[in-house]
Amino acid sequence: MLGNLNNQVIFKKAFTDKFVLKCLVKDLFGVDFEAETVETEKRFKPKMSHIDFKYDIFAESKDKRIVVEIQKVDYDYNFDRFLLYHNMAIAEMQRTSREYKTDRVVYTIAVFTSKYVAKDKKGDLVETDILFHYSNLFDLEGKEYDVFGHKLIYLNHNHIKDSTPDGYKDWLNLVKESIKHPDNPTINLDNEGIKKVSEIIDFEKLSPEEMREMKNTNAAESAKEIYEQDAKQQRNIEIAMNAIKKNFDNETISDLTGLATEQIEILRNQM
């Protein structure tokens, strides 16, 4: 049985392993990575800008800086958030370098366990398995010049396709199966990185301390979800009441708020 990678405790246990990180980076970016240091809840000191942000997993070698982040809740700023994290990891290297140019490269991996809710500039919902952001230069003919080398990738198992490349699919399936079918996961154990993760997050091998921390995390997230749902429900009720005052019909208010027409009729009678 796999531990749920949607849980921060399990996620960090899996991806702080140096061999797993090596395999992950190789499959996603095609480059070799031997981590010298791996940290969780990483903060820069002194802080960068006025934003007190921290990285879930932050690993470094002499030539590369790897950031692995998990996004579990649908926020409308998710893409922008990780672009900021990626850029701050680049900027911090500049701060400690004697020159603007640095020989180290930043690779950021954002793992989404919920569906994307962000939209593009045209207002269309973004729904795909893999998204790339490469910090390189292109000429008018579309030729790429590998000047900077920094790369950001977004992964979302909710949108796996038949055409998803095998290396990417292995990791996307791992996340999906740990969440949806932890008792009987269908994952590629021929991939050494996937096999290692499955051993690390084997539910039966978690320590009592890890089990307690995992359960505490789940409980806190459940409480937060209930609170957010209650707050959303209250906002919808306030919108409905304002719409009732403006003589909107029940069907229109239902479309606006998601409330059932029966609920709206009760509110109308109470007012």
Both 230 and 184 in one domain: the answer is no
Output the average pLDDT for the chain. Answer: 85
Number of separate domains in the chain: 2
Name residue 261's amino acid. T
Q: What is the pLDDT of residue 99?
A: 56
**Is position 212 within any domain?**
no
Both 54 and 146 in one domain: the answer is yes
Q: What is the pLDDT of residue 61?
A: 92
pTM for the whole structure? 0.75
Both 233 and 121 in one domain: the answer is no
**Is position 217 within any domain?**
no
Both 144 and 231 in one domain: the answer is no
Q: Where are the alpha helices (DSSP H) in 126-207?
A: 166-180, 192-200
How large a percentage of the chain has pLDDT more than 70?
A: 88
Both 202 and 227 in one domain: the answer is no
Structural domain that includes position 13: 8-206
**Is position 213 within any domain?**
no
Average pLDDT for residues 10-18, to the nearest whole number?
92
Lowest mean pLDDT among 9-18, 39-48, 144-153: 39-48
Both 168 and 200 in one domain: the answer is yes
* Class of residue 135 by CB neighbours under 10 A (exposed 0-12, middle 13-18, buried 19+): middle
Picking from 206, 236, 251, the residue at the C-terminal end of a domain is 206
Q: What is the pLDDT of residue 227?
A: 55
Both 48 and 134 in one domain: the answer is yes
Chain segment 208-266, per-residue pLDDT in tens:
777 677 666 665 555 555 555 667 778 888 888 888 888 888 888 888 888 888 888 88
**Is position 3 within any domain?**
no
Q: What is the pLDDT of residue 45?
A: 83
Question: Locate tokens 């729904």: which residue?
Answer: 127
Average pLDDT for residues 87-115, to the nearest whole number?
80
Q: Is the pLDDT of residue 34 over 90?
A: yes
In terms of C-beta distances under 8 Å and separation of at least 24 residues, what long-range contacts does 243-246 make, across chains too? Answer: 244/268, 244/271, 245/271
Average pLDDT for residues 69-84, to the nearest whole number?
72
Q: Which residue has the higher pLDDT, 128 or 115?
A: 128
Average pLDDT for residues 9-37, to the nearest whole number?
93
Both 137 and 262 in one domain: the answer is no
Picking from 206, 241, 257, the residue at the C-terminal end of a domain is 206
Average pLDDT for residues 9-35, to the nearest whole number?
93
Both 179 and 260 in one domain: the answer is no
**Is position 253 within any domain?**
yes
**Is position 218 within any domain?**
no
Q: Is the pLDDT of residue 77 over 80?
A: no
Both 122 and 150 in one domain: the answer is yes
* Alpha carbon distance 103, 216 (integer Å): 41
Both 159 and 241 in one domain: the answer is no
Q: What is the pLDDT of residue 225?
A: 58
Question: Locate tokens 């797993």: which residue?
Answer: 20
**Is position 229 within any domain?**
yes
Both 116 and 233 in one domain: the answer is no
**Is position 25 within any domain?**
yes
